[in-house]
Amino acid sequence: MEKKSKKLADGGKFLATNRKAFHDYAVIDKLEAGIQLLGTEVKSCRSRSISMADAYVKIINGEAWLFNVHIAEYTHANQFNHEPARRRRLLLHKNEILKIFQQTREKGLTVVPLKFYLSKGLVKVELGLCKGKTFSDKREVLRRRQDDLDTRKAIKYN
């Protein structure tokens, strides 16, 4: 039996999602970016060997860099395998990088990768401009989710 993969609206496939980001941050804005990868990294991404715990984006010298994303080494590669936790350059237009830089500096927002997915055979990253949640915000979200679940159950059984 073949596994059914989650698909995007344009036919792309999800490779990984950063569930911790949705728990720790309130996502204000989303944007798509390409990512500069080596060949073995692409093959490893296609096998869904991606971990985005504590990943973030930083602007250095007018370029966007992705830190703390662990892409496991490709098992069938030879001595030219990639380093799993290296920083990776994001492919964005200059005006997008400038917009991100201004919002992180002025508003105190954080840029976090939300999803890795395939689009027309290329690995893309969905970035989120996020504001950190406080402990009480997280509890409020859990309470609201539980209330919604209770109301759905009550409607279903009545």
Domains detected in the chain: 14-132 (2.40.280.10)
| Tokens 């290329």 belong to residue | 122
Does the pTM surpass 0.85? The reply is: no
What is the four-CA torsion angle of 27, 115, 138, 56, rounded to 10 degrees?
Answer: -80
Rounded to whole angstroms, how far apart are CA atoms 158 and 155? Answer: 5
Give the pLDDT band of residue 5 (cuts 50, 70, 90).
low
User: How far, in Å, CA of 39 to CA of 48, rounded?
Assistant: 14
> For 35-59, what is each residue's pLDDT tens digit?
998 888 888 888 888 888 889 999 9
Q: What is the reported pLDDT for 114? A: 93
Mind listing the pLDDT tens digit for each residue in 82-123? 777 889 999 999 999 999 999 998 888 999 999 999 988 889
Gyration radius of the chain over CA positions: 18
What percent of the chain has pLDDT above 70?
A: 92
DSSP letter string over 47-116? TT-EE-TT-EEEEETTEEEEES-EEPPPTT--TTPPPTT--EEEE--HHHHHHHHHHHHHS--EEEEEEE
CA 147, 152, 156 angle in degrees (round to 5)? 150
pLDDT of residue 34: 94
Higher-confidence residue of 78 and 149: namely 149
pLDDT at 139: 87
Tell me the Ramachandran region of residue 74: left when phi exceeds 0, alpha when psi lies from -120 to 50, beta otherwise. beta
